[in-house]
Every structure is written in structure tokens, then in C-alpha cells.
Amino acid sequence: MQVLWKLNDSFLREIVELMPAPKPHQNTVATILKILVEKEFVGITVMGRQHRYTALIGKEEYSKRTIKQIVKGYFEGSFSNVVSFMVKENNITVEELEALLQQIKKQKK
């Protein structure tokens, strides 16, 4: 998705070329694009034997949906469980937690 957002719309070869090293095989990228098309994150235009791919959703919407899927699939749908996991793994500091708490308090006002 990152590459598609940069290119707007592109062919498979262009997408693979812009991917960071080590570059995945073209078949791998094609499979991922197929899945993204099925999920309606990416649009496809058939041009002869080639396909042009276009991002159908922006980064913010994609992030929102992806995070919700992760929370649902791995944390029983609980964002509280995510934060608890982050604390246990030492991936979040007390200062960061306090900043999040302040942000939540501001949004509730």
C-alpha cells in the first residue's frame, strides 16, 4: 500500500521496482495485490495482458481498518488488552501512557 500511495496508480513491475531491498518476487507482490483487490483496498484496471493497480482508500482509513482487525484477531477486540500487552513488553513508557491519558481526557471534554 505504501508504494501505491506514492505512485497513485501503477503496474506490477513499477510496484516491485519501488519496494525496498530485498525485493520480493513479482508473484508474491501479485498475490498480495490480489488479496488487497478482494478486500476492496485496491482497484484494478485490465489493460490487455497487464493490470494497473490503484489505491482505493487512503492511509488513515487503511490504518484504522487494519488496527481494528489486529485488535479483534489478537486481543479479543480490546484496546485495553493492546495497551496491557505493550506495557508487559516494555514497548511503551509511563510518559507515553500519561500523554495518552491526557489525550483521552481532552477528547471527552
- Cα distances (angstroms) measured from residue 25 to each of 7, 13, 15, 81: 19, 10, 11, 36
For residues 63 and 51, state if they share a domain.
Answer: no
Same domain, 75 and 103: yes
- Per-residue model confidence as pLDDT tens for the chain (109 residues): 999 999 988 999 999 999 999 999 999 999 999 999 999 999 999 999 999 999 999 999 999 999 999 999 999 999 999 988 998 998 888 899 899 889 988 888 7
Residue 31 phi, psi dihedral angles, 5° rounding: -65, -45
The answer, as to whether pTM is greater than 0.85, is no
Total length of the chain = 109
Bond before 24 cis per omega within 30 degrees: no
Residue type, 90: N
| Number of domains the chain contains | 2
- Residue 71: which domain range? 59-108
